[in-house]
Amino acid sequence: MGKRVIVITGGGGFIGGHLAAKFLAAGHEVRCADIKPLDEWYQVHRGAKNFAGAMRGDCRDFKVCRTICRGADEVYQLAADMGGMGFIENNKALCMLSVLTNTHMILAAQEAGVDRFFYASSACVYNADKQKDPNITALKEADAYPALPEDGYGWEKLFSERMCRHFREDFGLHARVARFHNVYGPHGTWEGGREKAPAAICRKVIAAKVSGKHEIEIWGDGTQTRSFMFIDDCTKGIEMITHSDILEPINLGSSELVSINQLVDIAEDIAGIKLERHYKLDAPRGVAGRNSDNTKINQYLNWEPNIRLRDGMERTFNWIYEQFTAKYTAKTAHKSSVSTFTKGSHPIPGDGFNPESKNMKTWKQGIPAGWGGAPVKAPAKTAKKSAKKARARR
């Protein structure tokens, strides 16, 4: 495969940043788009062409999608409004709005005649009735139906999977879909409310170590189980799946199942401390158990994610420790637990309040301009005629 023009949406995000680095190192031309201003990107690759901010990188806007897809060979659609369980349970409308990004990107990719289109789906598409026991039977791809996905976020992912399928069947677009199972690693969200469990637990353990207050709050009772995939396995899997002949959505996740309590054990061991545990039983906790059945990916690719959780957690912990200690001290460590995303959070930064988006004509507070806004004023001549008719009726 020679040099290719590759588009990565969500390029300023965690997975997108790592994927951009991988493709740049391979000598490809990379375009990254992200709604976040460039100074908020997790990784900025100067070798890439970066479309940043609400005016140039908001892929909910079809014009932006057309611009970045023009002349592209491959598209990796990673952009989405999402986060950890605390975010997706409290912001279902925002998660659903990602359907706009998915729709406009696949339309633009089809129009541009791209060779490959990759869509990042999620294990949240799986039927919730199959995830009620922490001792979960690993989820097979067929377990997405009959449909009962995570409300909001899971429905958006499942709908967009179907859209990829029908664009492939009806228009011949080479669409590939992977269902991610909890990706973690350095250069990702670790505070603020959007972070996933591995990063959140690393941060909490680091805060306890730095502050000297050796206790930790755990959401739920700690028995809920998950598998966690290190970022290097994720980017390798994305590339392999995209260039494969796999037509169906496929699991991309580790099959190493652990409970949240065991995840805390690992972080404590890396930090060299033991903490008193407090369980917040009313906090969002998601399904009781979720694991990846990797039978199909092994059959197709003779490979599956295999980086050991303990090894990946150590690399993640060390990176977050550097970020944490650069920002917080023993006296301020408690401030790291403050969440900036609560129920009804606005899309960021295209929310109509950030300086960069105040004058946006296309978007305000996540809704296209003109949808449910102030009524359009009648032209001056029409208004005068209406006034004359009103006076005539008096």
Q: Are 152 and 87 in contact (CB under 8 A)?
A: no
Q: Are 177 and 167 in contact (CB under 8 A)?
A: no
Does residue 63 sit in helix, strand or coil?
helix
Q: Are 126 and 143 in contact (CB under 8 A)?
A: yes
Cross-strand partners of 290:
none
Catalytically annotated residues: 153
Q: Name the residue among 110, 234, 244 with its Cα closest to residue 176.
A: 244
How far apart CA 83 and CA 284 sit, in angstroms, is: 12
Q: Name the residue among 226, 322, 207, 213 with its Cα closest to residue 267.
A: 207
The CA dihedral of 128, 219, 82, 25, to the nearest 10 degrees, is -110
User: For residue 391, which amino acid is it?
Assistant: R
Buried b (16+ CB within 10 A) or exposed e, 82-120: bbbbbbbbbbbebbbbbbbbbbbbbbbbbebebebbbbb
Q: Are 235 and 18 in contact (CB under 8 A)?
A: yes
Q: Name the residue among 80, 73, 70 with its Cα closest to residue 103.
A: 80
Cβ-based neighbours of 137, under 8 Å, separated by 6 or more: 130, 291
**Which CATH number is correct for 5-337, 3.40.190.10, 3.40.50.300, 3.40.50.970, 3.40.50.720?**
3.40.50.720
Residue by residue, pLDDT tens for the chain (394 residues) are: 689 999 999 999 999 999 999 999 999 999 999 999 999 999 999 999 999 998 999 999 999 999 999 999 999 999 998 877 778 888 888 899 999 999 999 999 999 999 999 999 999 999 999 999 888 789 999 999 999 999 999 999 999 999 999 999 999 999 999 999 999 999 999 998 888 899 999 999 999 999 999 999 998 999 999 999 999 999 999 999 999 999 999 999 999 999 999 999 999 999 999 999 999 998 877 889 999 999 999 999 999 999 999 999 999 999 999 999 999 999 999 999 876 655 555 444 443 334 444 444 443 444 444 434 444 444 444 444 545 555 555 5
Count of CB atoms within 10 A of residue 77's CB? 27
Which pLDDT score is estimated for 387? 52
Sign of the Cα pseudo-torsion (184, 232, 131, 96, in order): positive
Which pLDDT score is estimated for 89? 84
Which pLDDT score is estimated for 343? 59
Which pLDDT score is estimated for 378? 43
Sign of the Cα pseudo-torsion (307, 315, 140, 288, in order): positive
How far apart CA 39 and CA 52 sit, in angstroms, is: 9
How far apart CA 253 and CA 226 sit, in angstroms, is: 10
Cβ-based neighbours of 138, under 8 Å, separated by 6 or more: 255, 257, 291, 292, 293, 294
Q: Name the residue among 188, 201, 203, 196 with its Cα closest to residue 235.
A: 188
Q: How far is CA 349 from CA 40, 95, 106, 358, 365, in A?
A: 10, 15, 23, 10, 9
Note the pTM of the prediction, 2 decimals: 0.85
Cross-strand partners of 364:
367
Q: Name the residue among 205, 207, 325, 224 with its Cα closest to residue 275.
A: 205
Q: Are 61 and 51 in contact (CB under 8 A)?
A: no
pLDDT in tens, 163-222: 999 999 999 999 999 999 999 999 999 998 888 899 999 999 999 999 999 999 998 999
